[in-house]
Amino acid sequence: MKKNVTRFLLLAFAFAFIGCNSDDKADENANTIEITLQEKFETPTFTVLDITASDAGATANYEWIMTKNPVNQVTDSIVGNTKDLRFTAIYAGSYEFTLNVTAANKKGTKNTIVNVTNETANFNPYITRIFDFDPAPGMFANDIYKEGNSKEDVMKTALGRISETNVGYLLDLGGFGGSIVVGFDHTVVNVPGTSDFRVYGGDVTNSAVAKANPPAPGLIYVAYDKNKNGKPDADEWYEIVGSQHAKSNTVKNFKVTYHKKAAGEPLVTSSALFLDYEHVFCENNQGETFYLARPRSRKEFYPLWASQTSVSYEGLKLDVDFTPLRPNQTTLWYSTPPEWGYVNAVNPDIDIDWAVDKNGNKANLPGIDFIKVVNCVSEPMGLCQQQSSMATVFAGAGDLHILKKYNLKQVNK
C-alpha cells in the first residue's frame, strides 16, 4: 500500500512540474516578438544597403546596435531607431548588428552580419555631371557662352571646368537666384560626427580687406537618389542649414524678377565706360525696382541661350554686411562671408547631417548623390542702384571620405 501511495505522489509531482514548465514556456513565448531578419548581407563600399526587418506593429520601438565595427573597434553604438536600417560603409570588413524591438510588455532580439567588400569601380571624388545650369542675369552670366551655343553646349563647357579636378576654375551663377545642379558618380556617405564633402568657390580668406567682385555665398541643397534612377527628382531635395539661417537679418521668401530688354529698344548711355545704364530691368517683392548697367567691356547680362524674356527667382536671402569702399561706385566693397554651411563660406566643409526637409526637420540622409547651389545675395551696388552684381562662384565639390581613404590631395582649403 505504501509503495502505491509513493508512486502516486511521484507521478503527481512529475505532472505538476511538467505543467508548470509548459506554462512558463507559454508565458515566455507570449512576451516574445518574433523578428524576421536576414542573417547575412553582402555589399560593396560607398553603396547604400537597405536592411529590412519584419513589422512589429504601430506601437513598436526599434533599436539597431552595431556590436562589431572592424574600422575603429567602437561597439554597442546605436545606429538606427526605425524598423529598417540604411547602412553604408567606407571601409571593407565584417560589421555586426543587433536589432532590439519592444512593444508594450513584449521584447524581441535578432542579429545580422554585413560583409562589406571594396568597391569594384574607381569612384571619382569630384563632380562628374551637371544636370542644370541656370545663371541669373549678371555681369559674367555669359562668360562661357559662345555664339550659337545651346544650353546643353554651355553645360558641357561648364562641366569641363569643374570635372575630375579642382584648380580654381570658377563658374559664375549670376545674380540672386542663379543656380547649378551637379552630381557625383557615387553616393557620398553620411558619416556621423564628421564633415562629408567640401564645396569649392572663390577666395574668402581675407574678408577684412576690400576686393573687386568678392564672391557671394550660395545656398546648398542636397539630394539622395532614393529611387536609383540616376537623376535628382523634385521630392529628393533637402536644404543645408548654415550659420546664417537663423539670423534676424536673413530674409525668407525674397523674390527678384529680371526683365530682358526688348530687341530694338534704345540703349541708355552717356559714358565711354557703359554701353547701357538700363540693360536689365529688375524688381523685387520688397517694393524696389532697379537696373543692371552693362559696361562696354562685358557681354550681355541676360543668358543668351535662354528663350524667356523675364524670369523670377524666390528663396532665402542672406545679409553679408555689404559696404561700398566709396559711395556710388561698383568696383570695391567690404563684405563678411558666412562661417559655415554655404558655398563661399569660411569653412568649405559640409556635414550631411545639416540637411533638413521643407518643415525644418532633420533629413537623416544615408548619403547624397546630387548638390544644388543657389545665389542668395542681392545688394545695392551704387551706380544706377544696381543690385546683385555680387555673384556666387562655384568650382565643384569633393567627397572628403574618398579623398581621405585614398590619401588624395585636398585642394582649395
Cα 118 from Cα 121, distance rounded (Å)? 9
Instruction: Assess whether pLDDT exceeds 90 at residue 202.
Output: no
pLDDT at residue 212 greater than cutoff 60: no
Question: Hey, what's the cell of 148?
Answer: 550659337
Rounded Cα distance, 97 and 394, in Å: 41
CA torsion sign for 232, 234, 237, 243 is: positive
Query: pLDDT tens digits for 253-266?
Result: 999 999 999 988 99
Is 60 exceeded by the pLDDT of residue 280? yes
Q: For residues 162 and 182, is the Cβ–Cβ distance under 8 A?
A: yes
Give the tens place of pLDDT for each residue, 12-67.
Answer: 444 444 555 555 544 556 689 999 999 999 999 999 999 999 999 999 999 999 99
Gyration radius of the chain over CA positions? 30
Collapsing DSSP to helix, strand or coil, 263 comes out as coil
Distance CA 58, CA 139 (A): 56
Q: Check pLDDT > 70 for residue 207.
A: no
* Contact (CB, 8 A) for 201 and 170: yes
Place of cell 537679418: 249
Q: What is the pLDDT of residue 166?
A: 54
Please, which pLDDT band fits residue 331 given cuts at 50, 70 and 90? low
Q: Whole-angstrom Cα distance, residue 342 to residue 250?
A: 14
- E strand or H helix that includes residue 131: strand 129-134
For residue 272, what pLDDT band results from cuts at 50, 70 and 90? confident
Residues 164 and 156: their CA atoms lie apart, in Å, by 14
Q: What confidence tens digit (pLDDT) does each residue in 60-73 have?
A: 999 999 999 998 87
Q: Please say whether the beta carbons of 374 and 219 come within 8 A.
A: yes
Q: What is the pTM of this model?
A: 0.86
Adjacent-strand bridge partners of 133: 180
Residue 246 vs residue 16, higher pLDDT: 246
134-190 pLDDT, tens digit per residue, is: 999 988 899 999 999 999 999 999 998 887 665 568 899 998 999 999 999 999 999
Question: Cα torsion at 158, 164, 166, 167 (round to 10°)?
Answer: -80
Q: In angstroms, rounded to a whole number, what is the distance separating the alpha carbons of residues 121 and 390?
A: 40
* Each residue's pLDDT tens digit, 346-379: 999 999 999 999 999 999 999 999 999 999 999 8
Mean pLDDT score, 318-341:
79
Is 240 a residue whose pLDDT tops 50? yes
What's the pLDDT score for residue 13? Answer: 47
Asked if pLDDT for residue 412 goes beyond 50, the answer is no
How confident is the model at residue 354, as a pLDDT?
98
